[in-house]
Amino acid sequence: MIKTDKVLDAKGLACPMPIVKTKKAVNDIQPGEVLEIQATDKGSTADLKAWAEKGGHQYLGTTEEGGILKHYLRKATIGEEKAETNYSVLITNEELKIKLEKNEDIVLLDVREEAEFLFNHIPGALSIPLGELEDRLHELDKESRIFVVCRTGSRSDLASQKLTEKGFTNVTNVVPGMSEWHGPTETVN
């Protein structure tokens, strides 16, 4: 058993709520202490890992017991912390819908988990879950106009920052994302 200083119950919550609750819980523990986040959302592993890295916290790992994911995060000490940033190049769902209707030459990158994508996605979108993005960068052209979408804009924000850090020059985060998308969608059978 891993020794933790605090346990956070995020079971039954979907993105972005495990991250929102984790941010609050991290504020309540001391630097160097370990937080256990219990979640059922399979996407929470990639989300928490990316969020921890972005803030300078240490993502220690994840175990699974009976369908419950237990994520372990060590709060950054003074000097390790990074100022939290948000990706600044944004587009609304409606603006994206217009670009798609005009058949503009863009890459629509969906960074939600595979199951989310299979049941509902924008036609023509490329599925690369956030947790696989770093290993699959070779599938993307650094010069392409890439529009990144997720369910609420949180994972796509992290993905947009990661792409930019890796040298992609024309990346845009779509907000608020699929949770409020009113354009065409399709399902993979």
Residues with active-site annotation: 15
The CB density around residue 170, as the number of other CB atoms within 10 Å, is 16
- Residue 150's identity, in one-letter code, is C
Q: Which of 119, 118, 146, 152 is nearest to 133 (CA)?
A: 146
Q: What are phi and psi of 77, to 5 degrees?
A: -90, 170
- Residues 17 and 155: beta-carbon distance below 8 Å: no
Here the tokens at position 113 are: 């988990």
| 3-state secondary structure string across 61-102 | EEEEECCEEEEEEECCCCCCCCCCCCCCCEEEHHHHHHHHHC
Phi, psi for 35 (deg, rounded to 5)? -110, 130
